[in-house]
Amino acid sequence: MPAEDAGTVLPASGPAGIPPGAAHHRTAGDGWVQCACGRRHWGRLGAAGLLLARRDAAGEPVAVVLQHRAPWSDQGGTWGVPGGALAPEEAPEDGALREAAEEAGIDPGHVRVLGTVELVHPDWSYTTVLADEHEPVTPSATDAESVEVRWVPVGDVVALPLLPAFADAWPDLLDRLRRSGR
């Protein structure tokens, strides 16, 4: 069934062309924002993602869950955190947990939210929700937006081809994870 036949049509270029038949969860928040920063961003109401950390016995973060994004998606092929557009009246924490469940099979009951970091643009914002693994989490690619989702050792993160915005944010996010575990 061609996607064009659907009554609710994806925005002109969705998170790029979504393959016919691909599992994709839509909300009224899906869509592009043309931002005064000169770029466009996904999520009419903003977006949020989950940065989930695993700690060692000393409380140091040793690994985080990252998503290898599908090649057809926006900035595809890169690695970032599971996340996506916020739904109407959805708190960033809730949106990040919903997306992490949809895209990465992460049970929200197995994580403990530590706090949020908001990146504010003129017409858009992105909230990174920092969380700890509370019960064992075995992430997996559970929808078409992910090629792979897995625990990545903290020291290996920068060796991956990261989503540029995540690469910029990573040093500060890791620092916050380290401080929040104490």
The two three-digit tokens of residue 80, written as one number = 């970032």
90: left (phi over 0), alpha (psi -120 to 50) or beta: beta
Site for Zn ion in 15-54 (CB under 5 A): 35, 37
Residue 9 binds Zn ion, judged by CB under 5 A: no
Length of the chain: 182
Q: For the chain, state the CA radius of gyration.
A: 16
> Which region, judged by CB under 5 A, interacts with Zn ion, from 74-82, 91-99, 114-122, 147-155?
114-122
CB of 34 to Zn ion, least distance (A): 9
Please select the residue that binds Zn ion; options are 54, 55, 110, 121, rule is CB under 5 A.
Answer: 121
Cβ-Cβ contacts under 8 Å for 30 (sequence gap 6 or more): 10, 11, 14, 42, 43, 44, 85
Cβ-Cβ contacts under 8 Å for 150 (sequence gap 6 or more): 65, 66, 139
CB of 41 to Zn ion, least distance (A): 6
Q: Which is nearer to Zn ion, 119 or 160 (CB)?
A: 119
Q: Which is nearer to Zn ion, 85 or 177 (CB)?
A: 85
CB of 25 to Zn ion, least distance (A): 24
CB of 129 to Zn ion, least distance (A): 20
**Site residues (vs Zn ion, CB under 5 A):** 35, 37, 121
